[in-house]
A and B are shown apart, each in its own frame.
Chain A
């Protein structure tokens, strides 16, 4: 068991190295030295030199003990991403500050989506072949075809602006549940089509099994079969989905945060794109990938503990 965990840990090393290589190629080689852009039009040669020294663009790319590549590895692995161009704040502080508001939005959204789409999926799967099933699959496809931006804009316009049911924008004095309610609702509705369709397929696979027929033959009620027998067995693919979705919760929602002014990580990224603050995008890419790798590792280890059939070899 310990040997398995160690081997699995070692297996993540090339992945982390690969991510560092990709961010290096993107932000140090392709994008390269952008000191003149940071300094602005009327900058003196000394200012540009100073900026180049701060970000290390005056150093060789590879092939030196103090090369840009070695520094990139060192800085990323110690989460030392330097300061933002625009306001000179440490990037890691910005990210730490943004994680809270992002989670406030994404966690309720995620739980809501799961609860609603799984319960609906069980019902729709049970009614397979009927007109309700056909109709709901078509509605799902139609909902998947509406652009996310339209959900946000029309939702914000009608529910908040016109009918005044929710606050239009984030306001620091508001209690969390108030400003999170509408964006979370929009996120749930926008994602419902795709999720419902996915879980319907999972449930349909499960409903074909013999134990379902046995349970009905025993005389159990529909509700009891669906929610106590089928749901329990369908949990394995669902849990895989859930655990792998967790790292994305930290990253927040780019567009929802932008429209509702929630100061989370999605908002930070939009700001960084506008200001062309490459270092923030670099930091977020690396942190997002590390979270994904870590949660993947946790899933695998959990499997090996729970399921005795997983071999350690």
Chain B
């Protein structure tokens, strides 16, 4: 009995779904270029965190330092020029990646952590549980997204979260935590709806019936059988939502609801708003280019990932 499946694998020698998709992805030059850009941004962010933890004093990360006169245009000793305090715009742009990527990362984690289990539970159990979860996300999605996110960000700002029941104690919500909580708590609806629909389809398949007849419990079926089979949807949604999280962070920071003490791209645009009419274009341009490059890379890579992972395209 145990040998049977092994025999079959030896005969077919098939490639797994993931190996197949990754091979397709690797053949796309543009997508690989985009991946390199994403990796570079991640490397910068990890480097900043590493420097912070080891408290190394690396000059290029010291964004608060005055390196020259105020409002210097881009030149050899200040690549992107200087801001109104004579600080390097290049260093601020690098540092801004930390806020944006961190916010987008935690927002994605929160929205997946809420959306995936709820969607799977709703699709698997149906009945009353389904009704409650559908009611919850229909309600949330009937509030215009920008209003919802603003309401959450406004209300959560400068609050402390009581996590005594988790054994953590009180956690003060700083600017950055407010932003990713607000984005994460409001953006799980789409992924939840997607997973619910997909789980409802998969539930009727034979492998779930087999698992049920083996006597697997509901949680085992959901987490070990259903979620791995819809996992490509989670990855696609994650890579495409990441862009919108970065853009949302920029807007919230710009509105003054975000990080206050460290530079972020949104705050740079807010500062540049008054500088632009005076002809100081470089801070605005640096922030725009930084956002543009990561968004473009994520969009291109996300699209390629969707094309490689989506089984429907195999047919064509």
A278 and B155 within 8 A (CB): yes
Contact partners of A27 in chain B: CB under 8 A? 151, 155
Whole-angstrom CA separation of A30 from B143 in the bound complex? 18
Contact with B along A274-287 (1 / 0, CB 8 A): 10101001101100
Return chain A residues, CB-CB under 8 Å to B147.
Answer: 251, 269, 281, 284-285, 288
Contact of B292 with A145 in the complex, beta carbons under 8 Å: yes
Residues of A within 8 A of B254 (CB): 149
Chain A residues with Cβ below 8 Å from B288 are: 146-147, 150, 154
- CB of A289 closer than 8 Å to a CB of B: yes
B156's nearest neighbour on chain A, judged by CB, is: A30
Cross-chain contact B247 with A148 (CB below 8 angstroms): yes
Residues of chain A lying within 8 A (CB to CB) of residue B255: 270, 273
Residues of chain A contacted by B148 (CB below 8 angstroms): 285
Known pairs A26-B155, A27-B155; A146 contacts B150 (CB<8 A): no
- Those of B282-316 within 8 Å (CB) of chain A: 284, 287-288, 291-292, 295-296, 299-300, 303
Q: Is B109 located at the chain interface by the 8 A CB criterion?
A: no
| Contact of A153 with B by CB under 8 A | yes
Give the number of chain A interface residues (Cβ < 8 Å): 44
**A248, B284: Cβ atoms under 8 Å?**
no
Q: List residues 123-167 of chain A with CB under 8 A from any CB of chain B.
A: 141-142, 144-150, 153-154, 157, 161
Task: Report Cα–Cα, A147/B156, bound state, in Å.
Answer: 25
Q: For window 237-288 of chain B, which residues contact chain A by CB distance below 8 Å?
A: 243, 247, 250-251, 254-257, 265-266, 269, 272-273, 276-277, 284, 287-288
State whether the Cβ of A22 lies closer than 8 Å to any Cβ in chain B.
yes
Stretch at the interface among A11-19, A75-83, A104-112, A300-308: A11-19
Q: A293 near B: Cβ within 8 Å?
A: yes
CA A157 – CA B280 in complex, angstroms?
11
Return the chain A residue nearest B270 by Cβ: A149
CB distance B256 to A18 under 8 Å? no
Query: Given known contacts A150-B291, A281-B154, what 4 new A-B pairs fall within 8 Å (CB)?
Result: A157-B277, A270-B255, A285-B144, A292-B142
